[in-house]
């Protein structure tokens, strides 16, 4: 009876975590490059109550726990923007960007700009990296990025840029794509950025040129892969699971009340 109380409490706590994840997915339904998360439940420790010579151990479960919160790295839909520095990855991989201290991050959010020094940067001013892991900088940069007359980016990540005088500003290396053995193990850092973890795979990110399996689409952005139909269904099942566990607590309390009343 007491075990059922604690089992119900564990159900309430962990269904709340699932609702938090579902709510975050829905909140980011229009976030560029966002990847939905999923909660996986596991049963908690089972307690042995007796030993049966035929069936073996007789056990009673003690509730539920969260096994993991997994990021789902399926392809999101591409939206046409017509802007050359809006980039989407079609296939596997991540853009590698680095901050001012050269720390590496990874993202599928592909809105980029050219700063005053000719570096291609994102909205956090993190620099986009090439296939060698070096920040991409336009060559022979004019005194102002306004003088970059044209820029185009191919499906292979090769950048072609010219100034107003038709001088070539193109960097020597193409945009690199970071490939991980287990992208689901990446750590979310906020701002649509990820960082490496031991779970994302060893030896970590492998920088590669976009090719036949993964391409870069200029003029497009990858939208969130959140499926609202699925998330609304998850919300309903989570709510019902929460209600059922609350009912377990209520019934267990009623049984305890009946036991206490026996003394009268």
Whether the Cβ atoms of residue 244 and residue 11 lie closer than 8 Å to each other: yes
Sequence-distant (≥ 6) Cβ neighbours of residue 73 within 8 angstroms: 35, 183, 184
* 179 contact partners, CB below 8 Å, separation of at least 6: 92, 93, 205, 206, 207, 208
Give every residue of the chain whose pLDDT is below 70, as ranges: 1, 53-56, 142-146, 202-204, 212, 263-264
H helices present in 110-227, as ranges? none
What does the pLDDT read at residue 264? 65
Question: For position 146, what pLDDT does the model report?
Answer: 63
pLDDT at 143: 67
Q: What are residue 131's phi and psi, to 5 degrees?
A: -65, -15
The secondary structure of 217-235 as a DSSP string is EETEEE-----HHHHHHHH
Residues 25, 29, 31, 37, CA torsion sign: positive
Taking the C-alpha atoms of residue 12 and residue 200, their distance in angstroms, rounded to an integer, is 30
- Residues 99, 71: Cα–Cα separation, whole Å: 24
pLDDT confidence of residue 128 = 97
Is 134 within 8 Å of 103 (Cβ atoms)?
Answer: no
**pTM of the predicted model, to two decimals?**
0.87
Asked if residues 209 and 133 have their Cβ atoms less than 8 Å apart, the reply is no
242: left (phi over 0), alpha (psi -120 to 50) or beta: alpha
pLDDT of residue 2: 78
Tell me what pLDDT residue 3 has: 85
What is the predicted pLDDT for the residue at 213?
A: 79
Reduce the DSSP state of residue 76 to 3 states and report it. Answer: coil
Q: Which of 116, 90, 117, 95 is nearest to 219 (CA)?
A: 90
């Amino acid at each position: 009876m007491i075990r059922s109380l604690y089992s119900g409490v564990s159900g309430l706590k962990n269904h709340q975590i699932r609702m938090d994840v579902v709510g975050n997915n829905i909140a980011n339904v229009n976030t560029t490059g966002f990847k939905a998360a999923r909660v996986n439940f596991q049963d908690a420790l089972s307690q042995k109550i007796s030993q049966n010579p035929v069936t073996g151990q007789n056990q009673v479960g003690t509730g539920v726990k969260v096994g993991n919160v997994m990021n789902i790295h399926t392809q999101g839909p591409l939206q046409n923007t017509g802007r050359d520095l809006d980039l989407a990855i079609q296939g596997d991989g991540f853009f590698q960007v680095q901050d001012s201290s050269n720390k590496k991050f990874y993202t599928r959010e592909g809105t980029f700009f050219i700063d005053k020094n000719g570096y291609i940067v994102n909205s956090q001013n993190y620099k986009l990296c090439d296939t060698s892991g070096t920040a991409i900088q336009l060559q022979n940069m004019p005194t102002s990025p306004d003088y970059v007359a044209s820029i185009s980016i191919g499906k292979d990540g090769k950048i072609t840029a010219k100034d107003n005088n038709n001088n070539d500003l193109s960097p020597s290396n193409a945009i690199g794509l970071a490939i991980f053995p287990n992208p689901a193990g990446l750590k979310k850092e906020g701002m649509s950025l990820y960082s490496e973890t031991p779970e994302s795979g060893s030896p970590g990110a492998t920088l590669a040129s976009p090719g036949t399996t993964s391409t870069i689409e200029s003029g497009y952005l990858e939208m969130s892969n959140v499926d609202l139909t699925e998330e609304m269904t998850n919300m309903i099942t989570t709510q019902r699971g929460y209600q059922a566990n609350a009912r377990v607590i209520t019934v267990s309390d009623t049984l305890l009340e009946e036991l206490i009343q026996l003394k009268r």
